[in-house]
Structure 1
Amino acid sequence: MNPVLVSISLLVCSNVFMTFAWYAHLKELNGKPWIVAALVSWGIALFEYLFQVPANRIGYSVLSVGELKILQEVITLSVFVPFSLLYLKEPLKLDYLWAGLCLCGAVFFMFRSKMV
Structure 2
Amino acid sequence: MQTAALLTLSNVFMTFAWYGHLKNLQHRAWYVAALLSWGIALFEYLLQVPANRIGATTLNLAQLKIMQEVITLVVFVPFVLIYMKQPLKLDYLWAALCMLGAVYFIFRN
With normalisation by structure 2, the TM-score equals 0.99
Root-mean-square deviation (CA, aligned residues, Å) is 0.4
For 2:102 and 2:13, the matched residues in 1 are separated by: 24
2:5 to 3, 9, 29: 9
Percent sequence identity is 68
CA distance in 2: counterparts of 1:44 and 1:84, whole angstroms: 18
Q: What is the match of residue 87 of structure 2?
A: 91
| Residues 55-80 of structure 1: per-residue CA shift (max 9 Å, x gap) | 00000000001000000000000000
**Aligned position for 1:76:** 72
Post-superposition, which runs of at least 4 consecutive aligned residues in structure 1 deviate over 2 A?
none
- Tell me the matched-pair count: 109
Whole-angstrom CA distance in 1 between matches of 2:87 and 2:29:
27
Output the CA distance in 2 between the equivalents of 1:51 and 1:44. 12
For 2:27, give the aligned amino acid.
G
CA distance in 1 between counterparts of 2:38 and 2:24 reads 15
1:16 positional shift: 0.3
- AA aligned to 1:74 is V
1:29-48 equivalences in 2 (<5 Å): 29-48=25-44
1:109 to 70, 84, 105: 105
Structure 1, unaligned runs of 5 or more: none
Among 10, 21, 32, the residue aligned to 1:25: 21
